[in-house]
Structure 1
Amino acid sequence: MTKHLQPFKNVSYVQSSLTMFLYFASWSIWWSLFQIWLASKSNGLGLSGTEIGTIYSVNSFVTIIFLFSYGLIQDKLVIKRTLIISCASISVLVGPFFTLVYKDLIQNHFFVGVIAGSIFLSAGFLSASGVYETVAEKLSRFFNFKYGQARAWGSIGFALSALIAGHLFVINPDFNFWLGSLLSLFLLLNLILLKSKNEKKMIKTLRNHPDDESIPTAKDMIETLKMKHLWVVMLFIMFTGTFYGIYDGQMFPDFYTKLFDNPKTGQTMYGNLNSLQVFCEAIMMGIVPIIMMKIGVKPTLMLGVSVMFLRIGLSASTDSPILMSLIKMMHALEVPLFMLPTFRYLTLHFDPKLSATLYLVGLQISGQIGSVLLSTPLGILRDNIGYNYTFILISIIVMIAAVFGFILLKNDDEMVDGDPFLKNAQLTN
């Protein structure tokens, strides 16, 4: 028991875990049902697949701009909270923005609403998630705790909010947005008020050594775009994570709720299922590092892509709510199996001091570029041929990308320009 409680003696771990919990809780309470809100004719905006695709496409384009800026800024700040405090301040406004501004603009001035929404979403949430995660990852290396364990609290926060979200949504979707504002306020207070003495000392040390080689220069950041292998990683992400993200975020929620005779029953069930899935995801966040230690980084990543392919393909094979719920639970496997080894792949094969730039710019931007190019066409495709055939097409593309990654991604003992990775078997020899 004492061993399990040991991490909680680390103040930086506790604060990072609380930040992850509150951030993802404040996002999940409305984001987990955002696509349903856009599509629902009974208690949402009643938009078509093409219109929803346009919203997601523009969101992704603006997110690219913010991601690049955030990556450069946070690598300079290292563990300072200036940027994430700014992001949290924006997220506090989610309630008034969506209920008083965005809804009216989308219904009466669609493209103005799309642009305004993309700026708000990107600044406060879509681009910010990577910043919160990279700050937590840097803190884990500075203050000796496991990033995966701290990130798992984010999944727990997401799950708890998702459980409440479905029930609030069928009463009044506005409640979801306003509760998001309240949770964001708690997040902001946490970031401003809670800081360990060791963290303050480290920030002071970094401030007194502005030329420390652990802090990347602008030249270092520009050089990342000249790395040929980074482009291989970006293409791999674009044709796996991007397609999966469009499937799971832009299409699956509405597809799932339409399997039920009563839309409100479907919306409530989706919220409950989403919560259960994220709880399981949190458990997997703690298990995946163990899997990586057993089989390696690249094999774990390829396992995650295999789960992607199976889930998308199986979604097109049944219209049973029960079977579809089981298929949805595969998401709990996919997220940790894809996210954690991807981050470790970057710190293994590239300079760790550029981790925020590589994660935000190299990884997330590649995904957002794919979303810009593909969200609207896939939305049009869904309007014309339906969800099932669209899912089949997406699954085939993910399978091809998996073969591409298997051939071109580096093995764990190749091109080790970052922190070396040793499996359990290697450590015992």
Structure 2
Amino acid sequence: MSTSATSRSAYVRISTCLFLYYFSWSISWSFLAIWLGDSIGFTSTQIGYTLSVNALFALMIKPVFGFIMDKLGINKSLLIGVALASIFAAPFFIYVYQTLLQTHMVLGVICGGLYLGTAYLAGVLVFESYADRYSRAFNFEFGRVRMWGSLGWAIASIFSGKLFNINPHINFTITSLVAVLVLLTLFTLKTQGEGINWQAIDEAKKEKVNGKDVKSLFRHASFWVLMLFYGGIIWMMQSAEQQFPRYFVTFFPTHQDGNSMLGYMGFVQSACEFVLMFTIPFMINRIGARNGLLLAGFVIGLRLVVSGLATQPWMIIIIKPFYGLEMALLLVSIFKFLAMYFDKRLTGTIYMVLGCFNYLGITAINPVAGYFYDKHGFATTYIVMGCIAWLITLVGIKFLGRQSNTRHGMQLTVNELRQAAEKK
């Protein structure tokens, strides 16, 4: 098989993995907050605490997964483990999670955090980080792989709302069945033989990444600036999005109508993300990864403020797809930013640490946001969160990407990190 044919085959297989994984995730996850409210009977504050525990477990799991990813290279063992966990979604939600939440709430929330953190909240970063590394090994753009994940989410959204109205157990069952297909597709991924850019892979293995390398990152101002900026806008974006479905359905005559429309808008949102994942890399290559991140911060603030000002169903319908633009900007920009300003050998670890930091903030913010939803309403809370996102973006304009740590600019290599640590 020629190199180009090998690359095309690798592209199809890894894209299929992301398509199926996101399809599996979307069919159930999109309605988690509504399920907790309608089926379990939780208030916004209780839902906030539940989502915070999910984030807390993801916080603990992600850095471990990131460290393992950097050790494994393009070995797919960790992905197989995540896929196996996803297969048990239906029995977990139907027979374990729902029962425990209704009878032993604390135990249920803890078990849910452990499972959801492993199978999805940390698992999705494993798939994305692996896809980024795999795309470099076979010489194609990560964005053109990730866009198939968006398409999977979009297609699942078309009928997820209708199925949820019939019985949420149908959604959970489909999640498990599609997860089996994810596992089978993973077994077809090529990780040995000709056609692989071993130079890109071997570059990451010249020196083993260890705990000291990770700790050394925290001694550099550039890394902290990225953490605070990226984490800050993600905190606003994700904390708002997790209970946004409950706000969305209030614009419609019945919750059933709202659920159905939410599914359709999930399709539109993810379809936009799919198209943008193909086109955004060209724009980011022109304006730069730093400006891409700043633009994402501005769009996040705009969507939240306008969401709070919406008064009619058509307004909230127009606003919902902007989440797809935000995701496309963030995902493409962050990987390009890391490749430009940090050593590629640490990309997986840094991305996981960023994810860990993101969920640390979300863990703290979710209960507060839930309290404000109950006390002041969704609209007022979203306006405040949007303004905070804008403030973080303004600070980012001044500081993000401005630090210079070496004569090569901001690029931090493993050797330089170790030398800095030894000097300390």
TM-score normalised by L of structure 2: 0.91
Q: Which runs of 5+ in 1 are unaligned?
A: 1-5, 420-429
Among 102, 111, 116, the alignment partner of 2:111 is 116
3-state DSSP of counterpart to 1:239:
helix
3-state DSSP of counterpart to 1:310:
helix
**How far does residue 9 in structure 1 lie from its aligned partner after superposition?**
5.6
8 Å contact kept, 1:8–1:14? no
The correspondence of residues 6-405 of structure 1 with structure 2, limited to 5 A, is 10-40=8-38, 44-195=39-190, 197-198=192-193, 212-213=205-206, 215-249=208-242, 251-361=243-353, 363-405=354-396
8 Å contact kept, 1:12–1:196? no
8 Å contact kept, 1:7–1:13? no
8 Å contact kept, 1:352–1:418? no
3-state DSSP of counterpart to 1:347:
helix
**How far does residue 415 in structure 1 lie from its aligned partner after superposition?**
2.8
Q: Which amino acid aligns with 1:155?
A: S
3-state DSSP of counterpart to 1:153:
helix
Q: Which runs of 5+ in 2 are unaligned?
A: 414-424
**How far does residue 349 in structure 1 lie from its aligned partner after superposition?**
0.9
3-state DSSP of counterpart to 2:193:
helix
Q: Which amino acid aligns with 1:34?
A: L
8 Å contact kept, 2:221–2:403? no
Deviations 1:259-313 (A, max 9, x none): 1111101000000111111011100011111111222111121111111111000
Q: Which amino acid aligns with 2:20?
A: L
Alpha-carbon spacing, 1:198–1:99, altered in 2? closer, same or farther (3 Å): same
3-state DSSP of counterpart to 1:46:
coil
What count of residue pairs does the alignment treat as equivalent? 406
TM-score normalised by L of structure 1: 0.90
**How far does residue 219 in structure 1 lie from its aligned partner after superposition?**
2.5
8 Å contact kept, 2:24–2:178? yes
8 Å contact kept, 1:53–1:378? yes
Output the CA distance in 2 between the equivalents of 1:332 and 1:35. 19
3-state DSSP of counterpart to 2:187:
helix
Identify the range of structure 1 (323-332 vs 150-159) with the bigger mean alpha-carbon deviation.
Answer: 323-332
Q: Which amino acid aligns with 1:367?
A: N
3-state DSSP of counterpart to 1:308:
helix
Output the CA distance in 2 between the equivalents of 1:143 and 1:15. 12
Deviations 1:186-230 (A, max 9, x none): 001111244365379789x97xx8993254233322322222221
**How far does residue 406 in structure 1 lie from its aligned partner after superposition?**
0.8
Identify the range of structure 1 (405-414 vs 27-36) with the bigger mean alpha-carbon deviation.
Answer: 405-414
**How far does residue 75 in structure 1 lie from its aligned partner after superposition?**
0.5
**How far does residue 90 in structure 1 lie from its aligned partner after superposition?**
0.5
Output the CA distance in 2 between the equivalents of 1:399 and 1:348. 25
Among 398, 411, 414, the alignment partner of 1:417 is 411
Q: Which amino acid aligns with 2:368?
A: P
Q: Which residue of 1 aligns with 2:418?
A: none
Q: Percent identity?
A: 31
Q: Which runs of 4+ in 1 moved over 6 A?
A: 199-203
Output the CA distance in 2 between the equivalents of 1:157 and 1:400. 34
8 Å contact kept, 2:138–2:196? no
8 Å contact kept, 1:151–1:285? yes
Alpha-carbon spacing, 1:408–1:82, altered in 2? closer, same or farther (3 Å): same
8 Å contact kept, 1:347–1:418? no
**How far does residue 411 in structure 1 lie from its aligned partner after superposition?**
5.4
Q: Which amino acid aligns with 2:360?
A: I
**How far does residue 366 in structure 1 lie from its aligned partner after superposition?**
1.5
Output the CA distance in 2 between the equivalents of 1:202 and 1:415. 27
Output the CA distance in 1 between the equivalents of 2:230 and 2:219. 18
Deviations 1:311-344 (A, max 9, x none): 0000111221111100112112111112211221
Alpha-carbon spacing, 1:215–1:151, altered in 2? closer, same or farther (3 Å): farther
8 Å contact kept, 1:170–1:264? yes
Q: Which amino acid aligns with 1:405?
A: G
